[in-house]
């Protein structure tokens, strides 16, 4: 790990003013430290935003929920309001990583953490995402890699929070030297075709200063399922969030987002469409689950993920019908 300067920023403004040259933001530091230790990056300065006041609130206003970027996963998973209204978000926060990590990891850092692909994470592999020529996963060891949009680079997006947040139609507020802008999460993440070296559109001198989740329509419920090979200390091989607005047992509107499926959180549009106006039952859930995998292009070793996704998508849909 290289030597670096350390700045403790007291305000958003101060942090932004420090974000020049080879400086990076440090929130919980869980992901950043790993990257430094692995030698993937050698920043000159770490700008610690952990002590900035006011960025760790969870508030509900007229237009919905506002989450500060420094709210930890542990807090999100236990917050009453989140648990009750935005259940899937609390579930995702509570299933990610491990209790120790959840105590440190922040919501902003979770959205911005870099991919966990084992080629990307090792210095020895100079892959496309690091400016190299090839994606080692495509003809390599790809059992945990993407099944959609995986032609150029087969990473899966690592953020658990992004899955429910995108399903809820959340936006992030980005504040930089030129002011603040608000971006739909859907447009925040970028595919390898758009830019293979990055996963989102945040500028080097910008901070996520808020995450906004719109007010839910009445009779809307959400459910998140993470399916890993094991439960402790592991990542999902597949995860899903289904947000359904219902009338009786008829689905009015469905929002279904898959994690660990593609380089970005992956909206299962066909599945969503198939549910609209249907009675939620085993049959419609099964059909939606099948459609969620339509168009998948599995690699040599990750075809099994299709079955896992189908199972959890169906279960996530049915769980809400029963709750």
Partner 1 sequence: MALQQSQQQKPSAAEAKTANTSIPNAARNPSNDEPNKKRNATRREVLPAGIVGTEGMNTVEREIPADEPPALKVNSSLAVIGRSTPRLDGRLKVTGKARYTADVRLPGMLFAQVVTSRYPHARIRSIDTSLAERAPGVRAVYVLDRVLGNAELRDKSKELPAKFPIVRFAGQPIAAVAATTQAEADDAARLFKVEYEPLPFVVDEDEARKKDAPLVFPGAADQGGTAGGGGGPQGVTQEGNVRGPVKSGPRGRPAGDINRGFAEAEVTVEGEFRTQVQTHSALETHGVVADWKEDGLTVYASTQGTSSVRDEFAAIFKLKKSQVRVVTEFMGGGFGAKFGAGNVGVIAAQLSKKAGAPVRLMLTRKDEHLSVGNRPSSIQKLRVGAKRDGTLTAIHLFSYGTAGTGTGAGAGGPAQNMYKCPNILTEEADVFTHAGPAAAFRAPGHPQGCFALEQTIDELAEKLGIDPVALRDRIDESPARREERRLGAERIGWSRRRRAGSDTGPVKRGLGVAQSIWYRFVNMDSACEVRVTQDGSVEILSGVQDIGGGIRTVLAQVVAEELGLKASDITVRIGDTAYPAGPASGGSVTTGSITPAARNAAFKVKQQFLEEVASALGTMPEYLKLGGGQVAVFDRNPNWSDGDRQGRSYKAAPIKSLSFRQAASRLKTEQIAARASRSDDYEKSRATYGGVQFAEVAVDTETGVIKVERVVAVHDCGRPMNPLTVESQINGGVLQGISYALYEDRILDRNTGLMVNPNLEQYKIVGSRETPRIEAILIEEYTGRSSTDAGGIGEPATIPTAAAVANAVYNATGVRVREMPMTPARVLAALQSARGKGGVRS
Ligand X SMILES: Cc1cc2nc3c(=O)[nH]c(=O)nc-3n(C[C@H](O)[C@H](O)[C@H](O)COP(=O)(O)OP(=O)(O)OC[C@H]3O[C@@H](n4cnc5c(N)ncnc54)[C@H](O)[C@@H]3O)c2cc1C
Q: Which residues make up the interface to ligand X (CB under 6 A)? A: 24-32, 49, 69, 96-97, 101, 104-106, 108-110, 112-113, 158-160, 207-208, 233, 235-236
Q: Which does 110 bind (CB under 5 to 8 A by kind): ligand X, partner 1, none?
A: ligand X
Q: Which does 119 bind (CB under 5 to 8 A by kind): ligand X, partner 1, none?
A: partner 1
Q: What order of strands is seen across the sheet that includes strand 179-184?
A: 58-61, 64-67, 207-214, 171-176, 179-184
Considering the rule CB under 8 A, would residue 301 count as an interface residue with partner 1?
Answer: yes
Q: Which does 207 bind (CB under 5 to 8 A by kind): partner 1, ligand X, none?
A: ligand X
User: Closest residue to ligand X, Cβ-based?
Assistant: 109
Nearer to partner 1, 162 or 306 (CB): 306
Applying the rule CB under 8 A, the residues between 9 and 48 that interact with partner 1 are: none
DSSP string, 126-155: -BGGGT-SB-TTTTS--TTS-SSS-SS---
Q: Which does 310 bind (CB under 5 to 8 A by kind): partner 1, ligand X, none?
A: partner 1
Q: Total residues contacting partner 1 (rule CB under 8 A)?
A: 27
**Residue 213: strand pairing partners:** 65
DSSP string, 86-105: SHHHHHHHHHSS-HHHHHH-
Binding part of the chain for partner 1, among 68-76, 174-182, 213-221, 233-241 by CB under 8 A, reads 233-241
Applying the rule CB under 8 A, the residues between 106 and 125 that interact with partner 1 are: 118-119, 122, 124-125
Shortest gap between Cβ of 232 and partner 1 (angstroms)? 3
Q: Hey, is 267 helix, strand or coil?
A: strand
Nearer to partner 1, 118 or 181 (CB): 118
Residue closest to 185 by CA, chosen among 163, 199, 213, 166: 166
d(CA 192, CA 149): 8
Residue closest to 15 by CA, chosen among 51, 45, 46, 47: 47
Considering the rule CB under 8 A, would residue 229 count as an interface residue with partner 1?
Answer: yes
The dihedral region occupied by 196, where left means phi > 0, alpha psi between -120 and 50, and beta the remainder, is: alpha
Shortest gap between Cβ of 246 and ligand X (angstroms)? 28
Q: Which of 234, 273, 276, 282 binds partner 1 (CB under 8 A)?
A: 234
Considering the rule CB under 8 A, would residue 312 count as an interface residue with partner 1?
Answer: yes
Binding part of the chain for partner 1, among 48-56, 249-257, 280-288, 306-314 by CB under 8 A, reads 306-314
Tokens read off for 322:
């029963």
Instruction: Please give the distance of CA 267 from its chain centroid, rounded to a whole number.
Output: 12
What angle in degrees, to the nearest 10, is found between the helix axes of 282-292 and 304-322? 140
Considering the rule CB under 8 A, would residue 193 count as an interface residue with partner 1?
Answer: no
Q: 242-275 burial, b if ≥16 CB within 10 A, otherwise e?
A: bbbbbeeeebbebbbbbbbbbbbbbbbebbbebb
Helix, strand, coil: what percent of the chain each, to 5?
A: 30, 25, 45
Q: Which of 17, 48, 103, 143 binds partner 1 (CB under 8 A)?
A: 143
**Residue 182: strand pairing partners:** 173
Shortest gap between Cβ of 2 and ligand X (angstroms)? 16
Considering the rule CB under 8 A, would residue 216 count as an interface residue with partner 1?
Answer: no
For partner 1, the binding residues (CB under 8 A) are: 1, 118-119, 122, 124-125, 136, 139-141, 143, 227, 229-234, 237, 301-302, 304, 307-308, 310-312
């Amino acid at each position: 790990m290289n030597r670096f300067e350390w700045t403790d920023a007291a305000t958003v403004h101060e942090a932004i003013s420090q974000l020049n040259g080879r400086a990076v933001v440090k929130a919980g530091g869980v992901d950043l430290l790993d990257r430094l230790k692995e030698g993937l990056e050698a920043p000159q300065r770490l700008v610690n935003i952990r002590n900035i006041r006011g960025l760790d609130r969870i508030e509900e206003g007229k237009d919905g929920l506002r989450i500060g970027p420094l709210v930890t996963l542990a807090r999100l998973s236990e917050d009453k309001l989140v648990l009750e209204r935005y259940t899937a978000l609390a579930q995702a926060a509570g299933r990610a990583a491990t209790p120790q990590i959840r105590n440190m990891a922040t919501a902003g850092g979770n959205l911005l953490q870099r991919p966990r692909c084992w080629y990307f994470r090792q210095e020895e592999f100079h892959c496309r995402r690091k400016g190299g020529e090839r994606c080692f996963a495509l003809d390599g060891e790809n059992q945990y890699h993407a099944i959609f949009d995986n032609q150029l680079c087969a990473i899966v997006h690592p953020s658990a929070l992004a899955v429910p947040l995108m399903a809820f139609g959340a936006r992030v507020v980005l504040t930089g030297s030129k002011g603040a802008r608000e971006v739909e999460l859907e447009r925040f993440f970028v595919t390898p075709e758009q830019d293979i070296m990055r996963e989102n559109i945040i500028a080097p001198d910008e901070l996520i200063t808020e995450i906004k989740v719109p007010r839910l329509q009445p009779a809307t419920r959400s459910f998140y399922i993470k399916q890993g090979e094991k439960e402790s200390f592991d990542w999902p091989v597949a995860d899903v969030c289904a947000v359904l607005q219902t009338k009786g047992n008829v689905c009015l509107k469905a929002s279904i987002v898959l994690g660990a499926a593609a380089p970005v959180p992956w909206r299962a549009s066909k599945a969503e469409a198939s549910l609209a106006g249907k009675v939620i039952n085993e049959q419609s859930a099964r059909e939606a689950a099948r459609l969620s995998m339509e168009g998948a292009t599995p690699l040599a070793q990750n075809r099994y993920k299709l079955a896992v996704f189908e199972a959890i998508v169906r279960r996530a849909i049915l769980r809400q019908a029963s709750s």
